[in-house]
């Protein structure tokens, strides 16, 4: 049984989520509810959950303030996983994505809720929650800036890399190969589209259906053979016809 705490300052929202969990996620047991940081901290003195459903906006405070005040983890009491609940917060959602933690948009969609619980179950046996938590706090401390690191799900764990060290990403069915500065190659268990959405604000461009490139590493464009980019690591990346004009505009703007 997954023991969870629900933290939201809206009683109706807590009741609604509780009902959905009872109907569609019976493996989750809500062992406590709180409407503020103070009541939540009091709950943690009595019970330590596996999972927190945490509203980003808690009156005049935020769920992030709560995370920074939680007691530190120990061998017998690892940090709980966090599923955020939010109506809107672009910067926060970006930080959450980069930290590999899930979030649900209000009003909560039942299918998305079930997916979030399944993600938790998939990760629950992996000793990566401490890393996720630390990276989340790092990103939140720079919430109005761009996150500097990304956590990549790979194999039976998570790996953290500087975004600036990622040279390119290559699609392989439902997986993505990361090519990292220094020669590291890593297979991630997410599609290229998901990483495209995350990395596009950081000089990454989807130049081809199978290739996402960090343009900071581009050294040459050759129009022959349909057109392709040469990168600092020596790789040659094909450029789709519909992307050529945009690519030229981007380079002229540098």
The pLDDT of residue 61 is: 86
Which CATH superfamily hosts domain 165-253? LytTr DNA-binding domain (2.40.50.1020)
Q: Is 249 a residue whose pLDDT tops 80?
A: yes
CA–CA distance, 189 with 155 (Å, rounded to integer): 8
The pLDDT of residue 190 is: 83
For domain 2-141, give the CATH number. 3.40.50.2300
Contact yes or no for 89/129 (Cβ under 8 A): no
Q: What percent of the chain has pLDDT over 70?
A: 83
The pLDDT of residue 76 is: 65
The pLDDT of residue 164 is: 94
> Stretch 168-177: mean pLDDT, rounded?
92
CA–CA distance, 198 with 98 (Å, rounded to integer): 8
Domain residue spans in the chain? 2-141, 165-253
* Residue recorded with tokens 């989750």: 28
Per-residue pLDDT tens over the stretch 5-43: 999 999 999 999 999 999 999 899 999 999 999 999 999
Q: Which range has the worst mean pLDDT, 91-100, 187-196, 219-228?
A: 91-100
Q: In this structure, what DSSP letter does residue 228 have?
A: E
Q: Which tokens go with 75?
A: 């061998």
């Amino acid at each position: 049984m997954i023991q969870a705490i629900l933290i939201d300052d809206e009683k109706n929202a807590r009741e609604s989520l509780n009902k959905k969990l009872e109907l569609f996620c019976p493996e989750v047991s809500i062992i406590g509810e709180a409407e503020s940081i103070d009541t939540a901290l009091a709950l943690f003195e009595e019970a330590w959950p596996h999972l927190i459903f945490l509203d980003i906006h808690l009156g005049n405070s935020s769920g992030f303030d709560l995370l920074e005040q939680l007691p530190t983890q120990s061998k017998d009491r690892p940090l709980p996983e966090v599923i955020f609940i939010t109506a809107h917060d672009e910067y926060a959602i970006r930080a959450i994505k980069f930290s590999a933690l899930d979030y649900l948009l209000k009003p909560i969609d039942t299918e998305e809720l079930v997916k979030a619980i399944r993600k938790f179950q998939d990760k629950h046996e992996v000793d990566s929650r401490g890393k996720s938590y630390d990276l989340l706090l790092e990103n939140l401390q720079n919430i109005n800036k761009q996150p500097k690191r990304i956590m990549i799900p790979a194999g039976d764990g998570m790996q953290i890399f500087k975004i600036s060290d990622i040279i390119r990403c290559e699609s392989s069915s439902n997986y993505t190969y990361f090519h990292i500065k220094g020669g590291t190659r890593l297979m991630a268990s997410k599609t290229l589209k998901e990483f495209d959405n995350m990395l596009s604000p950081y000089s990454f461009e989807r130049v081809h259906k199978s290739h996402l490139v960090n343009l900071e590493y581009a050294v040459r464009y050759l129009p022959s053979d349909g057109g392709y980019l040469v990168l600092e690591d020596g790789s040659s990346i094909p450029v789709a016809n519909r992307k050529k004009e945009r690519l030229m505009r981007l380079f002229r703007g540098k």
